[in-house]
Structure 1
Amino acid sequence: MPRQVDLAERRRVIAEAVCRLADESGLEGVTLRDVAERAGLSMGAVQRCFRTKEEMLVHALRYVGGRIERRVRERLGAGPAQSSASAVGHAAEELALLRAEHRSEARVWLAFLAQAAVSEALAGPLRAGYAASEELFLGLLAEAGVAREVREVEVRALLALVDGLTAHVLVGRLTEDRAAEVLHAHLERLWRG
């Protein structure tokens, strides 16, 4: 009797292998052969899940984006009721990937971001992820009473700041604590404005 293969689980294992390789050497270090080896699978098993390397990368990008999104939602749902202002801060902190335990994920995220500048296949899912984050923050700012005409610009500025802080921490330009100070100073100005 042939063995049943859990394709969803296999795709998850492959996505994690892609992320580990991207963490170590960027997306240029991700080959089908290396992914198969890292995932403990044959090349044929990887190719049965993904027809092309691009398809595999898009899946891995969605996988890492989904992990970050779940963590943001968990943080917003955890603990006692929080003000809308503190919810914005918590969500922004999670998206910024500033903490040491998220450094690997930050390297992977920025590797995908850099590649998306020249790959429409990756740019599309990234735009969708940013749109979802934008919607989340627009709702939180509305709950916090930020004027409608200000919300859209502030959300876009916040998302750009978060990505910038991630990059600055990764290259050693800012420490994790300094980046968190910059983020919180920006949010304080928003609440005062």
Structure 2
Amino acid sequence: MPVVAETEEKKSRFICWLGPVTDKAAFLCQLETVRARYPDASHHCTALVIGNPGNPEVMQFDDDGEPGGSAGRPMMELLLKQGIGNVGAIVTRYFGGTKLGVGGLMRAYRGAVAAGLQSAELETHVPIMSVKITCDFAGESRLRFLVSQSGGTCGEAHYSDKVRVAVSLPQDQWSQLREKLLSEGFSVQEET
């Protein structure tokens, strides 16, 4: 759920919008919404991290007229340092009449995002994996039960001389489920 947090530095107001983002186009739409809400603001600086923060699919920032590297970069670096992905931050600045200098701007923009993070409810991302498991007919209901117990779901089943079931489950549950299936005599054939 998006949050909005406000900070102040030497009479300049910094309003941070921070929210979940998995699509760059949706983030750009959100930026336009923020610009429309605060049309008289001096700057709307952004940071965007989509995907795993250790190896993001999309990672970008924009200083929106502030001195290069003084706004968007420290915002993005804070998100990455905190290990937060699939997130976008927009910090709107109302200039208060006192110049902050590059170091002051970096602290102020980073601080605005930090205030947003304090208000946010962060969720741990657990990668989901998909596999196809083959078993005999007698084992299908037990397979479905064990997958359910592991937090997974069974999808479409294909029947021939065996049953092949599409399974989606949290990646960290796969080795335990696989071990359980093998210990119960299942002939498990993985197909990713």
TM-score calculated relative to the size of structure 1 = 0.29
| Structure in which a larger fraction of residues adopt helix | 1
Greater Rg, structure 1 or structure 2?
A: 2
TM-score calculated relative to the size of structure 2 = 0.29
| Structure in which a larger fraction of residues adopt strand | 2
